[in-house]
């Protein structure tokens, strides 16, 4: 009786111990060129949520906005643009 209990508690103890070993840092590199220090579960991934999709981490997402400049007909331009000026190719030059 006593021995059985001891074995079960030992097994449970080693189980929780091995779970604590699953603790590592992301293998990705940040935009500053240093290794990422975000902790990840190495059982499921090598990368943190930033490095899982490298494109998302390195690129600034450009949202397209509506130009809004007045056209020759004096109506607001409805063309979408991703230019930093916020103006479409017709109204930029
Ligand atoms: Zn990372
Ligand atoms: Zn425009």
Torsion over CA: 72, 78, 85, 81 (sign): negative
Residue 88 lies in a domain: yes
Query: Over the stretch 19-55, which tens digit does the pLDDT of each residue have?
Result: 444 468 988 888 888 888 999 887 888 888 888 875 4
How many domains are contained in the chain? 2
Q: Are residues 52 and 77 in the same domain?
A: no
Residue 25 lies in a domain: yes
Distance from the CA of 79 to the center of ligand 2, in angstroms? 5
Q: Are residues 52 and 24 in the same domain?
A: yes
Residue 49 lies in a domain: yes
Comparison of pLDDT for 27 and 59, the residue scoring more? 27
Q: Find the domain containing 52 and state its range.
A: 20-59
Structure tokens at 67: 């130009």
Q: Are residues 55 and 78 in the same domain?
A: no
Cα distance between the two ends of the chain: 88
Tell me the residue ranges of DSSP E strands in the chain: 24-25, 39-40, 65-66, 80-81
Distance from the CA of 63 to the center of ligand 2, in angstroms? 16
Q: Identify the nearest ligand to the CA of 79 by its number.
A: 2
Within 8 A by CB and 6+ apart from 30, the residues are 36
């Amino acid at each position: 009786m006593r021995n059985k209990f001891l074995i079960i508690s030992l097994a449970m103890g080693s189980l929780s111990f091995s779970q604590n070993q699953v603790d590592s840092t992301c293998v990705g590199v940040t935009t500053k060129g240093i290794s990422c220090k975000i902790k990840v579960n190495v059982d499921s991934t090598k990368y943190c949520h930033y490095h899982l999709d490298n494109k998302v981490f390195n690129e600034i997402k450009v949202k397209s906005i509506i130009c809004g400049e007045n056209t020759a007909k004096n109506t607001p331009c409805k063309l979408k643009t991703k230019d930093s000026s916020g103006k479409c190719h017709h109204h930029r030059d």
